[in-house]
Structure 1
Amino acid sequence: MPARPDTLETVRLAVELLRRIPRGRKITTGELHRQLKDAGMERDLRTIQRQLEMLSTHFEIERDDRSKPYGYRWKEQAHSLAVPHLTPQESLLLQLAQEQLKHLLPARLKQSMDGFFTQARRNLSDAPGTALERQWPHKVRVVATSQPLLPPAIVPGVLEEVSEALYANRWLELDYRNAAGSCKSAKVMPLGLAQQGPRLYLVCRYDGFDNERSLALHRILKAQASTLTFERPEEFDLQQYEDDGRFGFGEGQRIALSFQIEKEAGFHLRETPLSPDQQIRDIDEDWMEVKATVVDSAMLEWWLRGFGDSVDHVKRRKIRK
């Protein structure tokens, strides 16, 4: 099979670089080199530097050469490279995805997607015939199921380091302050990232241990992704971790739960059951009995207490695994 012409490879590299140069912030040659490598394009650093120097002379790209490493970005009024064939519907999908997934995407991936997100926003704001797509974000909303709370402040740079270590299967070194105010340094194996309401939690294993813990990101004072990688444990499953009630402060113990609840307070359980095997029995005009197999946890206890005097005769029976 004949080799692909060098000119085609050069054009492909130029297009990929143009797509990844952001607007409003600078990106270095090293960052672009890593993004291309993650996308499966192996190019040496010097080749990328030469391409960037050429592109900055032919496009509205600003090069900050006041100090090394040099930074590149599109000029404020420049028209960056458009993403081809991005329909209004695709632009809307990208805009919604960015809003919902902004805390759950690795920093490296978010940076590589900046061009797509920017173009999607521009498509919806500038392109004719997209009025319905522009209206849609104002027609839908994810609403809270409990009292809304503002998200806790996360130390700048922590989320980026955590997501980088999680994405690349690298050990993570961090300083953590627990709920009691005690501070400790630790080396952890990052295994998962979960958003629970306004909070983000890192699921990890401490170095030298084989059990998982959940660390609140807003309690991490400092984080640094190591250059050392690890083999992700095959037996760990984030979905199973959630199913075991670990984010509800449980230990995976399943129980046969039964309780009596006023019909007015528990009406929603007829529509949104506690479990697939839930059973409801009417006791009288005002009360009903609910039985279900669930995971025992502090969250379950808080949920039951939230009904106050509307819940009575609560019984739990452990189920052997």
Structure 2
Amino acid sequence: MQELDRDIMRVLPDAATQDHYLTTPEIHKRIMEDALMSETVTVRTINRHLTKLEASGLVEMRPSGVALEWRRKAGASGMAARAGAMMTFDEALALQTLRRFSSRQIPGLVADALSSMFDVAQARLQRTNNSTEQRYARWASKVAVESGGFALDYPAINREVFAIVSRALFEERNLEMIYRRRDNADNETPKTILPLGLVEVGGLVYLVGATPGKPEPTMYRMDRLWRAKALPDTFVYPPGFSLDEYVKRQRRFDFMIEKEVLLKLKFVANAGDHLLEAPMAQDQKASSKGGALYVQGTVMLSQRLRWWLRSFGPKVEVLGPAPLRAELVAEAAQLARMYSA
């Protein structure tokens, strides 16, 4: 398949997941906005390629007045069509399990590319020929995944915006975007960033992007990206930047990080017993005395740490560091006044 054919297939709606079609001029506009092309492509050229793709059974067309509208056929990549005849029960079960338990937003968004494969897998599991295959078909209903936190209905991410951002990230291209913060919900001023990574934290997806002239990257909530456009200009990915370092070592997503501290805690009523199996720090030490569990370790002081400590209520006492203890003492006194009023 030629490069232009691939670009056409990429921008077309997929019949497996989307109901709408695009006209030839709309397809032309999207390709010219988003594709890295060395020469200008005309609407007539795109229409000629669409006609060939339709003849090959990869796209479908419908008339809309005097215009023609197009979309990609379900399973047009050929993977689903080939898999339908030869997919084993093991493979079908694996795909259906992946579909059901990809509860986070990023896996769900990228799984759109496999939607037709999921449909084939579902159909395969429904065609049971013996008792063993019936057990396979029932397996997905015997497994569940539940978040440990309080369930919130997180804002959805625009799938088209996500696709543009993902491609710009993959191809290391400058990204122009309209970003609307909570305090600037009507913003229409575009800004250009260098996309460095995508991170999902507690149900929210963030784009980590560098801005020329600024030493530190910035985090952008993906659901607040109103529009996005991958620019033709590419950039050199910063050799000194590591997303893993940024997330796991620098703890940038702990929010308002301050410094490392030696945290000393006293737990009662078995509230901290889980730390014996899942330590809060690499240098954690723990001991028991008088029915209480004493735990200490070096952690990063941040808002997320405070949220975690507050979740235990009166079942944890912060013994150190002294400033954090004083902060929580003052907060507890304020709560006492609030609830005694």
- TM-score band, normalised by the shorter chain? 0.7 to 0.9
Alignment of 1:300-315 (within 5 A): 300-315=305-320
Residue 166 of structure 2 corresponds to residue 163 of structure 1: yes
Structure 2 residue runs of 5 or longer lacking an equivalent are 36-44, 323-341
Please report how far the alpha carbon of residue 237 of structure 1 lies from its aligned counterpart in structure 2 after TM superposition. Answer: 1.7
> Is 1:202 aligned to 2:203, yes or no?
no
> Take 1:103 and 1:193, find their aligned partners in 2: how far apart are those partners?
11
Equivalent residue, structure 2, for 1:94: 95
Q: TM-score, normalised by structure 1?
A: 0.72
Counterpart position of 2:334: none
- Shift in CA distance, 223/74, structure 1 to aligned 2, threshold 3 Å: closer
Matched residue SS, 1:264 = coil
Q: Tell me the distance in 2 between the aligned counterparts of 1:180 and 1:63.
A: 43
1:73 counterpart residue number: 73
User: Over residues 275-303 of structure 1, what are the superposed CA-to-partner deviations in whole Å (9 max), with x where a residue is unaligned?
Assistant: 23211122322x22111122222101111
List aligned pairs for 1:1-321, cutoff 5 A: 22-23=15-16, 25=18, 49=50, 51-56=52-57, 62-64=60-62, 66=64, 67=67, 70-73=70-73, 81-83=81-83, 85-99=86-100, 100=102, 103-104=105-106, 110=111, 112-129=113-130, 130-155=133-158, 157-181=160-184, 183=187, 185-243=190-248, 244-251=250-257, 253-285=259-291, 287-316=292-321
Contact 2:17 2:112 in 1 (8 A): no
Contact 1:22 1:115 in 2 (8 A): no
Question: 5+ residue gaps in structure 1?
Answer: 1-8, 38-43
Range moving further from structure 2, 191-200 or 90-99: 90-99
Distance in 1 of aligned mates of 2:313 and 2:222: 32
Is contact 1:65-1:71 (8 Å) kept? no
Counterpart amino acid of 1:64? R
1: distance between equivalents of 2:238 and 2:103?
25
CA distances 1:83-107 after superposition (whole Å, capped 9, x unpaired): 1542212122222334417732597
Name the Cα RMSD after superposition: 3.8
Counterpart-to-counterpart distance in 2, 1:53 and 1:148: 45
**Could you say if the C-alpha distance between residues 24 and 220 of structure 1 is closer, same or farther in structure 2, counting changes exceeding 3 Å?**
closer
In the TM superposition, what is the alpha-carbon distance from 1:161 to its structure 2 partner?
2.4
What residue is the counterpart of 2:325 in the other structure? none
Distance across 2 between alignment mates of 1:112 and 1:305 = 41
Structure 2 CA distance, aligned partners of 1:169 and 1:106? Answer: 23
Q: Which residue number in structure 2 is paired with residue 6 of structure 1? A: none
Identity %: 26
Query: Greater helix share, 1 or 2?
Result: 2
**Conserved 8 A contact 2:168-2:195:** yes
**Preserved contact between residue 189 and residue 204 of structure 1 (Cα < 8 Å):** yes
Q: 2:62 is matched by which residue type in structure 1? A: D
Distance (Å, rounded) in 2 between the aligned partners of 1:235 and 1:262: 44
Deviation at 1:241, TM superposition (A): 1.7
| Structure 1 pair 23–263 and aligned structure 2 pair: CA distance change class (3 A) | closer
For 1:264, give the aligned amino acid: N
Q: Match of 1:235, SS?
A: coil
Inter-CA distance 45–175: structure 2 relative to 1 (3 Å threshold): closer
Question: 1:51: Cα distance to partner?
Answer: 4.8
The aligned amino acid for 1:166 is L
- CA distance in structure 2 between the aligned counterparts of 1:306 and 1:112, rounded to whole angstroms: 39
For the 8 Å contact 2:125–2:137, the answer to whether it is kept is yes
Q: Distance in 1 between matches of 2:104 and 2:63?
A: 31
Distance 1:210 1:123, change over 3 A: farther
